[in-house]
Structure 1
Amino acid sequence: MNYPVAEQQFAVPAAPAPTFIGQGTAVEQSRAVAEVQAAVIVARQFPRNEAQAIAKMRTGFSQHSLAVRSFFRFRRGSSNVSGETIQFAKELARCWTNVHYGVHELRRDDAAGESEMQAWAWDLETNERASTTFIVPHTRWTKTDGGTRLEDPRDVYENNSNNGARRLREMIFSVLPDWFREQAKEIATNTVERGQGDKPIAQRIADCIAHFEGLGVTVEQLEEHRSGRESGKWTNLDLGQLSIISESIRRGEVTVDEEFPQKRVTAGEIFQQHADQTSPPDTPPAPAEGARQWPAARQPGAGATS
């Protein structure tokens, strides 16, 4: 077919197709297509039982170890940031069944210092799919040093994984029913507040204080963190919040110094302390008016002999 000259002038050349595809690549492409088709067929043949899904969810989030790992909490400025973790989202997807999800690194540009990634979740029964594509800079940000370029491949991998996990969590939540998520959140919260086993609350408070002392946090810092309430007056809710903070510290989402900042000393306090250390010793008070003045050699009890 002959095109006019004007159309030939602005025609966009087609991208050249690859001339050779390796056997391994061809096998992987065929396997991926067959795996998706099989997953869809199995999901249609064995649809989820919502009653069983709810029962599995209640059983799972009634376990204290899972409930504590289901929440995060850390300070950002003058406020606190809290929510559900990626472990919480994955457990919901497992209980709901027939949900596939994942994170892919589409492109890595070491020269520009960034990676292009995609997080997705797919309900195979309802064919509801959520995905997002985002750019992750190869940079670690801190309050003191600002941005630091990551060069170690392991640091880049961990940075990409942390950023991908947060997007993946939201994608999983997008394909799950809101009521299912809220029920699981309530059960997990009650499990955290109830504590582990049948220990009395006094023993749990002692164990909590001992745990944080191992992290370098004093009882005074814990009491100040709990709105100035003494440790003997802590409730199950207080212990549950401290358990969530402990897990956030363990996962590296927040540091001990960020969550329990040291008390800052003001310039006025420093000057006052310096003045107290350098002030002359106290002089005896002046005698009252009209009082008898004794010479130094005749002061009573001066050691004069008769």
Structure 2
Amino acid sequence: MTPAAAPARVGQGTAVEQSRAVAEVQAAVLVARQFPRNEAACVARMQTACAQKELAQRAFFRFPRGSSNVSGETIQLAKELARCWGNIQFGVAELRRDEEYGESEMQAWAWDMETNERSSTTFIVPHARWANGQAQKLADFRDVYENNANNGARRLREMIFTVLPVWYIEQAKTACTKTLATGGGDVPRPQRIAEAIGAYEGIGVTADQIETKLGRESAKWTDIDLGQLQVIFQSIQRGEVTKDEEFPKPRVTADEITGAKAATS
């Protein structure tokens, strides 16, 4: 397939937009150089943000892949860390959409304007979604848009984390985990355990199922257990994993069936 030729002339509106974009970049770089970040202040902002329960609950994802679970940090956490670090621009764009081949060419990037460190990646997103063990083609334009946005967000997260210091990211992860474990305040652990059980019962998961998963009675749950339950609960709410995948119902044994029949006869 022969690629489309570049236009012979550029319209006035396009030329103005291109000039404006160049001027914005130059101004942003100049401001970043004139007002360099104060790392101590950046870390303080990050610690304050990660101490908020609302952010900590959205900081991690979890979804099944094969016989195991994949977990990590969300794009919401990446964007917040970039905001706290300062002088960083990032974005994702659809460069080209090919309806004939059913795919989009996209680019995600992040740029530290102060150090001039830039990370970018170009990737192809098929207009299809994997479901029921096979790829299902997407025909609706909104489905294609959402599929592109989801794939772009994952790449964007990687680009942002590439330009941020590793120690800074690790401190943020630790802070968010602590917030999840402690409930973001001085709430006693028994109360947080009761709230966790109540939240799960609201989506049809019993306390017995949770205890089976954690391997201990609710009275013995630790702060780490409560943090893990928060991540799983939010992942279920976002549709990344189902409750049956995380909390499978116990299988009924032959002895239990026989015993039930004997009791009714």
1:205 to 2:193 alignment: yes
| Letter of the structure 1 residue corresponding to residue 195 of structure 2 | D
Q: What is the correspondence of 1:1-306 to structure 2 with a 5 Å cutoff?
A: 18-142=7-131, 144-227=132-215, 229-265=216-252, 269=254, 273=257, 277=261
Q: CA deviation at 1:63?
A: 1.3
Gaps of 5+ in 2: none
The structure with the greater share of residues assigned to helix is 2
Q: Take 1:261 and 1:117, find their aligned partners in 2: how far apart are those partners?
A: 38
Judging changes above 3 Å, is the alpha-carbon distance between structure 1 residues 49 and 209 closer, same or farther for their aligned structure 2 residues?
same
Q: Take 2:237 and 2:259, find their aligned partners in 1: how far apart are those partners?
A: 43
Judging changes above 3 Å, is the alpha-carbon distance between structure 1 residues 276 and 245 closer, same or farther for their aligned structure 2 residues?
closer
- Measured against aligned partners, the alpha-carbon deviations of 1:100-127 in whole angstroms (never above 9, x if no partner) come to 1100111111222211111100110111
Judging changes above 3 Å, is the alpha-carbon distance between structure 1 residues 37 and 231 closer, same or farther for their aligned structure 2 residues?
same
Q: Take 1:28 and 1:148, find their aligned partners in 2: how far apart are those partners?
A: 38
Q: CA deviation at 1:241?
A: 0.6
Higher deviation after alignment, 133-142 or 72-81: 72-81
| Letter of the structure 1 residue corresponding to residue 158 of structure 2 | E
Contact 1:116–1:135 under 8 Å retained in 2 = yes
TM-score using structure 1 length: 0.78
Q: Take 1:276 and 1:247, find their aligned partners in 2: how far apart are those partners?
A: 37
Q: Take 2:146 and 2:251, find their aligned partners in 1: how far apart are those partners?
A: 33
Q: CA deviation at 1:16?
A: 6.0
Query: Which 4+ residue blocks in structure 1 deviate beyond 3 angstroms?
Result: 263-266, 272-278
Contact 1:74–1:259 under 8 Å retained in 2 = no
State the match for 1:292 in structure 2.
none
Q: CA deviation at 1:75?
A: 3.2
Contact 1:136–1:160 under 8 Å retained in 2 = yes
Q: Take 2:259 and 2:218, find their aligned partners in 1: how far apart are those partners?
A: 36
Higher deviation after alignment, 146-155 or 251-260: 251-260
Contact 2:51–2:184 under 8 Å retained in 1 = no
- The one of the two structures with greater contact order (alpha-carbon pairs below 8 A, sep at least 6) is 2
Number of residue pairs aligned between Structure 1 and Structure 2: 260
Contact 1:195–1:236 under 8 Å retained in 2 = no
| Letter of the structure 2 residue corresponding to residue 93 of structure 1 | A
Q: Take 1:178 and 1:27, find their aligned partners in 2: how far apart are those partners?
A: 39
Contact 2:57–2:234 under 8 Å retained in 1 = yes
CA RMSD of aligned residues (A): 2.2
Gaps of 5+ in 1: 1-14, 282-306
Q: Take 1:156 and 1:52, find their aligned partners in 2: how far apart are those partners?
A: 41
Judging changes above 3 Å, is the alpha-carbon distance between structure 1 residues 203 and 29 closer, same or farther for their aligned structure 2 residues?
same
State the match for 1:301 in structure 2.
none
Q: Take 2:136 and 2:174, find their aligned partners in 1: how far apart are those partners?
A: 39
Bigger Rg, which one: 1
Q: CA deviation at 1:255?
A: 2.0
TM-score using structure 2 length: 0.90
Q: Take 2:113 and 2:260, find their aligned partners in 1: how far apart are those partners?
A: 74
Aligned sequence identity (%): 66
Contact 2:36–2:114 under 8 Å retained in 1 = yes
Q: Secondary structure at the match of 1:133?
A: strand
Contact 1:120–1:131 under 8 Å retained in 2 = yes
